[in-house]
Chain A
Amino acid sequence: MPLFDRKDKSRYASFTRRSLMLTGGMTAVFGLLAGRLYQLQIVNGSEYMTEAEDNRVNQRLVAPPRGTIYDRFGVALASNRRNYRVVIIAEQATDGVETALNEIGKIILLTPRQKERVLHDIAQNKKFAPVPVVENLSWDEFARINLHLPYLPGVQPDVGETRSYPYGEQLSHVLGYVAAASPDDKKGDDDPLLDLPGFRVGKRGIEKEFDRQMRGKGGLSRVEVNAYGRVIRQLSSVPGVPGEDVYLTIDCDLQRFVEQQLGDNSAACVVMDTTNGDVLALASTPGYDPNLFNIGISNEQWHALLDDDHKPLLNKAISGTYPPGSTFKPAMALAAVDNGLADLQVFCTGTLTLGDHDFHCWKKGGHGEVNLHSGIAESCDIFFYEVARRLGIDKMSAAARALGLGAPTGIEMPGEVGGFIPSRAWKLARFGVPWQQGETLINGIGQGYVLTTPLQLCMLSARIASGKALVPRIVHEVGTTLQPRTVPAKLPFSDTAFAAVRGGLNAVTNEVIGTAYAWRIPEPGFEMAGKTGTAQVRRITREERLTGMKRNRQLPWNLREHALFIAYAPVDNPRYACSVIIEHGAAIAHYQVQMARDILLHAQQRDPARMPTAYPAHAAQLVPAVARSGA
């Protein structure tokens, strides 16, 4: 019996033929798949391996601790404080975020606004991202949270770091502050740390000037992440380099004393070591609280700072320019002696007429017979008009520049300005008019175009006291690297000139005729020499002189004259130089001199310049010596 009927035989043959065709097709497809696998895994394998690795590994920057700023005795002026905070991780809050927040609210104070912010942040972030709930907790609050932790799912205590300025407003202008990097900060600075959330850079003062050194280098933590960016585990880490510490020449104690003296006035004061230019105190009031900028300053607070007419954001000591007034006269006197005017005698009637213009002395009736010594002591304007007339603007400006005026001193702080010392060429270029002799005269008493900073005036005082071209320095070392210092050259004035001018400055405070005799330092051995100054900020009209000049206290605050004083002490062997300026402070007679007197007396009694410093470079030199003596 046949197995197949005839028709089945034919379709069996057809089936076999076509199955083999299909099998061939399937084999071709498998070949194609194998070829594709070869292409992906063998030809491009390493390329895809790199891509898989890029997918998997995320490099995270770890911010290094910022360097501390110390004063000369090792007092920390700006340091890093532990920031105790509480964060919440939404996906771990099994009872719900709101419940967790309510529970936290039972333990520590949590305002409805804070809760709202947390809920908002959680909505914005991935569910596994920690969102800060409260920051800057006290240890007590932090401990209480930790105690309740078992009942707070999703809540985690966290210890971060934040910049801390223990002296607040005091020292604010020296230290500056830190804040998040702005787009301007990122220009020309490709440090990836700047993009790290919460990272702070120096914005003013020393914090800005030495930002790179104090910043350190970011560490690198390689972590494995999944497709959603969640960290799965740590792969490796490269520790960062902590920022370098900065050691200032400032004496914190003296600085704070100075700031107390300046009080609420819009004022500036610089105290300097006359032997090496170390700035011991550099104050500008009012200041601001640098801690505010770190935590986040409110709009109201920021505008209050901006709108204050006492300009709390301006470091007047280096960025404020003022006509030096009579404090400029010692510089003129130095030039006078070296230009044959040592024995100049002038009779002061209170007025000097030049052409059709009258020039007045501050003393209405005049000083009578005046020489260099009494001209300085009594601050006679007529005498210095005559000196200016005889010297001419060229020699005057040359002397001023030799004493360091008209150019930045180069102190290690951002924002220093150079003040201004005029010249004939400048006048012609600026106004298209030649220099006038009247301008020479008013220049001679530190008015007109002359502008100086309080720091320059302190340097002027120190240079006269020492006879050397001292340069102010505020940073002693960064890390363990000493800041470069040059041996000050001798100034281009004769010893005779210095002796004569120092005599005049001594007379200002210590002779009865002196303008500041009433505010001398009476303690023997601590006497100071100085020069008062008053800088006009408005033009006094002819009518006003005739009808009687308005007294400063009758004027609105911003039209009153600036009160200035430069001094050094002790007279015989100067060690401390000082300049004080009170903006519009001439209403109370020589209030600034009282301040300078107290500051210089305090400085001498404390004598920080002779106290052993706590600089690490010094310590490194000292330690072996001590060890040797011990052995």
Chain B
Amino acid sequence: MITRPYAIARRTLSYVDKLYEINWGVVLLVTIIACIGFSMLYSVAGASFSPWADKQMIRFVVGFLLMIVVALVDVRFWMSFAYPAYLVSLLLLVAVEIAGHVGLGAQRWITLGPLELQPSEPMKIALVLALARYLHGLSVEDVSKPLRLAIPLIMIGMPAALVAIQPNLGTTLILVADGVSLLFLAGLSWWWIGPTVAAVAAAIPLAWQFVLHDYQKARVLTFLDPESDALGAGWNITQAKIAIGSGGVTGKGFLQGTQSRLNFLPEKETDFIFTNYGEEFGFVGCIALLILFAVVIGYGVQIAMSARSQFGRLLAIGIILNFFFYIMINASMVMGLIPVVGIPMPLISYGGTAMLTVMFGFGLLLSVHVHRQVEIPRHSAGII
């Protein structure tokens, strides 16, 4: 007897069927979180849709359509799309290194016709795609073989190094975290993990001495003692904490946040937007938002675990981990738990590339869900 999901997997689903199969719970949650983002952009602009909320809404609509389209495309297509996407992203990173113009003290942007692109954003998705595809072809035993392991390490290392010299510490950390997490999930032996953790711990002082830029060191030092430079580099952290803290239990109310409206908060529409949310909606609002994020992540993990192909599992969990790392780093940063690194809050912070990347990622996640019954032979990983 052939079970129904199995039959679905064997059939070529029509697009209407696929639409029906989309996890609309995830779509709804993503839309709710994006709407919170619009309201915050409206608030920090002083109760105005321009200059941020209106553009962000258009981007979300574009991103939303992109997400649905991506979700309907067969996951096998995305598998074949993985290596080319990775190569293109890598080339863009090289290009930004060569031709990108300097924005905010670091080379992060590249102009493609009318588009301003931050290639480190698509790289996060491309890396997950490429690693998922590569690891799809490896058995648990294979992952820990040195020669097999070298390739994914190079795949992680090249973009990480390119992003690091931009310099963009936050994205580098996310790329490395995404990649290492996927290796871990693919079954990397604890014999690799243990010594590596020890080696990284030992390397931190060396990195401090030789790798980190002065501004990055300053951020760390300021983080450790924000009051040492209360009007300079410590300003961001201090004002962000004041904003969140002053929200209290229930917050000051929508549009009533003074810290951002009066420009005490830096980058209030991008990296520090969560502080305005904390100020206006307080502890209750922040916990509610964290729960929304957690539910989305929970859906993501569940989608990953229910996928029939290793590629689908790794892709789904990679996407959701990437989403998680964004939230973790951004929230920790604005709450003064870690030094300031330039990482936006996904779906909420203003930014076109990040919005499209996140929506594309959710599209892939939904595609894994829609095509969760699709089986992909292990050896097909080798075909580009």
Contact = CB atoms under 8 A, between A and B. Distances in A.
A53 B243 CA distance: 10
Given A3-B375, A10-B140, A19-B317, A41 B244 contact: yes
B264 A55 contact: yes
Contacts of A51: 242, 245-246
Contacts of A232: 262
Nearest to B143: A11
Contacts of B185: 15, 18-19, 22
A330 B374 CA distance: 130
Interface string B265-286: 0000000000000110011001
B80 interface: no
B264 A41 contact: no
Interface string A1-21: 001110110111011101100
Given A3-B308, A40-B241, A47-B245, A55 B328 contact: no
A19 B187 contact: no
Contacts of A4: 308
Nearest to A43: B245
Interface string A34-55: 1011101110111111011101
B282 A26 contact: no
Interface in B229-260: 239, 241-249, 258-259
B248 A45 contact: yes
B36 to A, nearest CB: 16
B378 A5 contact: yes
A228 interface: yes
Contact of B258 (A12, A15, A52): A52
A40 B245 contact: yes
Contact of B378 (A7, A29, A49, A228): A7
Interface stretch (A186-194, A219-227, A317-325, A397-405): A219-227
B290 A33 contact: yes
Given A3-B6, A42-B283, A45-B249, A19 B305 contact: yes
B313 A15 contact: yes
B139 A42 contact: no
Nearest to A6: B139
Contacts, number: 143
Contacts of A33: 290, 328, 331-332, 335, 337
B102 interface: no
Contacts of A42: 248-249, 283
Interface string B291-308: 001100110010011001
Contacts of B297: 26
Size class of the B contact interface (CB-based, 8 Å)? 35 or more
A56 interface: yes
Contacts of B239: 55
Contacts of A224: 258, 262
Interface in A29-88: 29-30, 32-34, 36-38, 40-42, 44-49, 51-53, 55-56
A153 B267 CA distance: 31
A37 B184 contact: no
Nearest to B5: A3
A226 B290 contact: no
Interface string B173-195: 00000000100111100000000
Contacts of A30: 290, 293-294
A41 B242 contact: no
Nearest to A55: B264
B324 interface: yes
A38 B335 CA distance: 11
A601 B286 CA distance: 90
Contacts of A14: 140, 186-187
A39 to B, nearest CB: 9
B299 to A, nearest CB: 12
B262 A226 contact: yes
B378 A40 contact: no
B263 A227 contact: yes
B321 interface: yes
Nearest to A47: B245
B269 to A, nearest CB: 15
A23 interface: yes
Contact of A41 (B184, B262, B286, B375): B286
Q: Is the interface of B mostly helix, strand, loop or mixed?
A: helix
A227 to B, nearest CB: 4
A52 B242 contact: yes
Interface in B146-202: 181, 184-187
Contact of A11 (B187, B263, B305): B187
B140 A48 contact: no
A57 to B, nearest CB: 9
Contact of B262 (A16, A40, A55): A55
Given A8-B310, A22-B181, A55 B301 contact: no
B88 interface: no
Contacts of B95: none
A75 to B, nearest CB: 50
B287 interface: yes
A52 B246 contact: yes
Contacts of A8: 310, 378
B380 to A, nearest CB: 13
User: Of A27, A32, A48, A226, which is in contact with the most chain B CB atoms at under 10 Å from its CB?
Assistant: A48
A48 B324 contact: no
A226 B264 CA distance: 7
A432 B297 CA distance: 102
B273 to A, nearest CB: 16
B313 A29 contact: no
Contacts of B186: 11, 14-15
A45 B247 contact: yes
A29 B6 CA distance: 37
A54 to B, nearest CB: 9
A227 B267 CA distance: 13
A46 B6 CA distance: 58
Contact of B184 (A18, A32, A34, A227): A18
Contacts of B263: 226-228
Nearest to A11: B140
A44 B290 contact: no
B244 A48 contact: yes
B287 A34 contact: yes
Contacts of A49: 245-246, 248
A53 B264 CA distance: 12
Given A18-B185, A52-B258, A227-B263, A37 B286 contact: yes
Contact of B310 (A15, A38, A44, A225): A15
A23 B301 contact: yes
Given A3-B375, A38-B283, A227-B264, A55 B258 contact: yes
A7 B139 contact: yes
Contacts of A34: 287, 290
A40 B244 contact: yes
Nearest to B240: A40
A28 B282 CA distance: 21
B321 A22 contact: yes
Nearest to B258: A56
B191 to A, nearest CB: 15
B310 A41 contact: no
A46 B264 CA distance: 18
Interface string B310-346: 1001100100010010001001100101000000000
A42 B251 CA distance: 11
A526 B173 CA distance: 105
A81 B242 CA distance: 46
A33 B181 CA distance: 21
Given A15-B313, A49-B245, 6 more contacts: A40-B244, A45-B245, A48-B245, A52-B258, A226-B262, A228-B263
25 contacts: A3-B375, A7-B140, A8-B310, A11-B139, A11-B140, A12-B313, A14-B187, A15-B304, A15-B313, A15-B314, A19-B304, A19-B305, A26-B294, A26-B324, A34-B290, A37-B278, A38-B283, A45-B245, A45-B249, A49-B246, A51-B245, A52-B246, A52-B259, A55-B264, A226-B264
What 5 pairs between A and B have smallest CB-CB spacing? Answer: A48-B245, A52-B246, A226-B262, A45-B248, A227-B263
